[in-house]
Structure 1
């Protein structure tokens, strides 16, 4: 499985956004970014694309496939792209609260700790469908880190995912609306980047 190997904090500072949610990620941003460069339209589109790729941890080949699929969709391409990315299994695991980062969620999925509708699934890019129940395997529910994350992480209380604390699970109720997705990105600029 291909993964992004670039230094995370450095990437966050370059893009000007704390992509990974770590409190120290932007610590040196003010001191290193004293000279403001004028950014061209192409540069702005590129930065927006890189933000989205870095946030979801998707590499270029897979990301361009998602963009092509979004462009074929009948609804607005930008919102369609975000919905596709939000419905990835690793992201849903993160939104439910099993993991404190998308990277950790991806590792949990790859190691077979996650069940979808009661069946083990170890493909992080699997597209979760509306009505699917994503849960943690029974033997891992006593793990202190996972249970603490699930019970205490209120990072994302998104309205399109219903958490069930008794079953250690979450259910995708519906596709998210564009304003409910908790990331700040200009998705139209991303589509325009690929339209050129």
Structure 2
């Protein structure tokens, strides 16, 4: 499936929930009618089969993290090979991606912006430049804005925005130094997003 390049709020309306594709300073329901399907008059949401419900949940999570279909399936396969709950393992793998950690630390106002920072070699992991957005981070990794990128206006703006949001307790951030520590892999209880990972597991188990 090709990457979607259209209006961000349109796909949030398509899924009927906030996909965190905007900065989050303003509530999404002040920007659009999230309960209505996209279209001039707000199309009526179709009644979905069990398969349709499972598919929509998978699409929702895939879009939250900005991942293409093949890559998402690979994450599922990897999660299923790890001991424990496959659904929780899947979310932990997604949360440990470098672009997501950069977003969680507030260095990018959205995951897409965080991904750009990584791709443009603006992020270091343990003092080494890493330009792979899907790079898997581990506890005690130190993630920072590279010296050459610390004066970027978008980084400073993102940090100002992030100061208005509560940061997860599984990371530690020093905004003055523009760096943070990935303290631990989050538990499922740490992730408050409206996600039913069990539906995704049911979909891939068909």
TM over 0.5: yes
Match of 2:8 in 1: 8
Q: Which runs of 5+ in 2 are unaligned?
A: none
- After TM superposition, the score normalised by the length of structure 1 is 0.91
CA distance in 2, matches of 1:96, 1:116: 13
> Is the 2:62–2:69 contact (alpha carbons within 8 Å) kept by the matching residues of 1?
yes
1:148 is displaced (CA, Å) by 3.3
Which of 171, 175, 179 is the matching residue for 1:169? 179
CA distance in 2, matches of 1:36, 1:58: 24
Match of 1:195 in 2: 205
- The answer on 1:27 being equivalent to 2:9 is no
Is the partner of 1:123 in helix, strand or coil? Answer: coil
1:179 is displaced (CA, Å) by 1.7
Q: Which runs of 5+ in 1 are unaligned?
A: none
Is the partner of 1:32 in helix, strand or coil? Answer: coil
Which of 160, 167, 170 is the matching residue for 1:157? 167
- After TM superposition, the score normalised by the length of structure 2 is 0.87
- The answer on 1:58 being equivalent to 2:67 is yes
- The answer on 1:181 being equivalent to 2:187 is no
What do the CA deviations read for 1:38-89 (whole angstroms, capped 9, x no partner)? 2211111001000000000000000000001111111100110000000000
